[in-house]
Amino acid sequence: MTTHASAAHASTAQAAQAAGPLAGLLVIDLSRALAGPHAGQMLGDLGARVIKVESPGTGDETRSWGPPFVAGSDGENYSTYFLSCNRNKESIALDLKSDDGRETLTALLARADILVENFRTGVMDRLGFGTAALAELNPALIQLSITGFGHDGPEGGRAGYDQIVQGEAGLMSITGPGPADPQRVGTPIADLLGGIHGVVGVLAALHERAATGRGRVVRTSLLSSLVGVHAFQGTRVTVAGQTPEAQGNHHPSIAPYGLFGCRDGHVQISVANDRLWQAFCAEFQLDSATPGLGSNPERVANRQQTIAFVEAAFRDSDAADLLARLSAAGIPAGKVRNLTEVYEWDQVRSQGLIIDVDHAALGEISLPGPALRFFDVDASGERERARARHEAPPTLNEHGDAIREWLAAEVAR
């Protein structure tokens, strides 16, 4: 399939830093807040050129979400929330209600490979960029649209924010210490999964386009992204006829699997089968055939007895000693780290999960990095094929002039 002209003429800076499977593709990111921006960021991490279109003056609403804010050299305050989901992007400010804004966006979309938007249903049509109009403008364009509760159905037009959807999708009912105290997940998981599912759909559409030459509309929602990861909790409802409830830090179908107290804190263990149970009991001189605890179904049915059995064995030991013994015995185990400890962990840095970028106003800053790594493999072994560098989240309209100059050159071709 012929590559879009935009891809062949990406800016020198973008070409230098675009190392990844999607290098050469152009993404127009009209989204704001988190689900869409997270999808756009993932596409940028994979090497695509991502142009973020923002409202003049204010930009993406997350630019004002805080504290925390960090003071820049230009006297502006920068939201750490915005910094979390907009790396590897360029920014242009466009008023989409003006002739200039619509004309510039039209020129961008005519040259794009992928559009990301998360407006409420009907907004793109009112702006003059509905799915049919975009397909006519650029038949090869892949349109990713993310909504809160879906694009159709009895509540299809409903606005969706992460915590609201966590509640509506049942996630809060199975999270927390018990059914009387529902809890949200500590990250905006509905938004993040919405972005991830959106990228999966885009990648499938790109594969299809390689054969057909035509784009496709890809739709997902925060609701569908959470229901889609109910996993065994979902089949407890649909197959077993149960209604799962929150039960704290212990697995509903495996025991012992959860957080257990010890002398100086807690450790987590996962005894996922009876072989591990026997190894666990041997390490701590326990009777694996204790009545009511001999098999996993028995231990699940007698959960409180199981917890007390394990914590009695842990009571006089410190967490560090327990983790060493559990590791030696082959029992999956770990501690609970706070986030500062996570980002100080050598294992995290070894996986490329912290990246250093040079921000236009903040200077050198560190950000959480992408979750994927790529390797070339031949007879001599594996070689990681990493990006030459990552780009910092842009300041508002940071690349506006450069993008307009590039578009003018494209039109003149």
Give the single-character DSSP code of 284.
T
Any catalytic annotation for residue 191? Answer: yes
pLDDT on residue 386: 77
Q: Give the whole-number percent of the chain exceeding pLDDT 90.
A: 89
Q: Is the whole model's pTM more than 0.75, yes or no? A: yes
In whole angstroms, what is the distance from residue 353 CA to residue 347 CA?
A: 9
Q: Which residue has the tokens 């609970």?
A: 336
- Which one of the listed residues 74, 152, 191, 316 is annotated catalytic? 191
pLDDT at 399 > cutoff 50: yes
The end-to-end CA distance of the chain, in Å, is: 20
Mean pLDDT of 98-113: 97
Q: What percent of the chain has pLDDT over 70?
A: 96
What is the per-residue pLDDT for 301? Answer: 96
pLDDT tens track for 252-303: 999 999 999 999 999 999 999 999 999 999 999 999 999 999 999 999 999 9
Q: Domains in the chain, ordered, with CATH?
A: 5-230+385-412 (3.40.50.10540), 257-334 (3.30.1540.10)
Question: How are beta strands 49-54 and 26-29 bridged, if at all?
Answer: parallel
Helix (H) or strand (E) holding 333: strand 333-334
Burial zone of 345 (CB within 10 Å; 0-12 exposed, 13-18 middle, 19+ buried): middle
Mean pLDDT of the chain: 93
Residue 184 has pLDDT above 60, yes or no: yes
Longest dimension (CA), the chain: 82
